[in-house]
Structure 1
Amino acid sequence: MEDRTKRIVASGVALSVVGYVIWPMEGVLGQNMWLPLVPESLGDYQITLLVLAVTGVLGFGITIASSIRLSELAIGGVLAYVFWMVVLSLAFSEMLLAYLAYGLVLVGVLLGALIGTVIARQPKVKSLILSS
């Protein structure tokens, strides 16, 4: 039980960092830190897909490279999301964009982790992972 709790806490901390790196709050590094890297022709839809893809790769990597299970990542991620949304709601008045952005980050990480979990459960892949 202790190991599971540690993995949940580690998940919450890791996803807090991922959320901040993907979408930092305005005034520290700037909300649009990553947007100069994206061509101006992309709209909100494409940027949303880009965020989902990047965070999905991170979630995939977390589940493949560590002992953190999908359920532990989900619990830690939801706890981190709720905690930070409460903190940010107390600090800032208008938070709709943060709710959506950080929710999108959480969804992307969990989708990537789900794909990683499904792939890792395949017999051939499982033997490759265990042998390395």
Structure 2
Amino acid sequence: MKNPIQAMYEAGIVEATDFPADSRYHGVPTRYFTAPDGRQLPYLTRRFVPAPERFATMGYRMVAESERLDQIAAETIGNAVAFWMHCDANRAIWAEELEVPGHELRLTLPEGVPTAEEGS
């Protein structure tokens, strides 16, 4: 019997990617550059950060002394690796921009997911 996940990749139902679903690069297309010696060098296309308006606000939280964004992501969304979602929703490129004690961090749902009030 064929692996069902592999079958979905082959059928194009699930996009094959080198990045896990919780990566900011999941779904970003790969292209290839042909080097002068003929080698094919893979690279990722540009990832455009979504507008903060595409994120539904769930609340706000003050950043505490010595707190890191991965710790906050683990606490608020249950996934430390997904700290980049907080960066996207708060217009930050680097996690350190949001790790300032006393900074009010906007907590959101993932991009495009409406709140219960917005969905009704």
Structure 1 length as normaliser, TM-score?
0.25
Task: State which structure, 1 or 2, has the greater radius of gyration over its C-alpha atoms.
Answer: 2
User: Which structure shows the higher helix fraction?
Assistant: 1
Greater RCO (Cα-Cα under 8 Å, separation 6 or more): 1
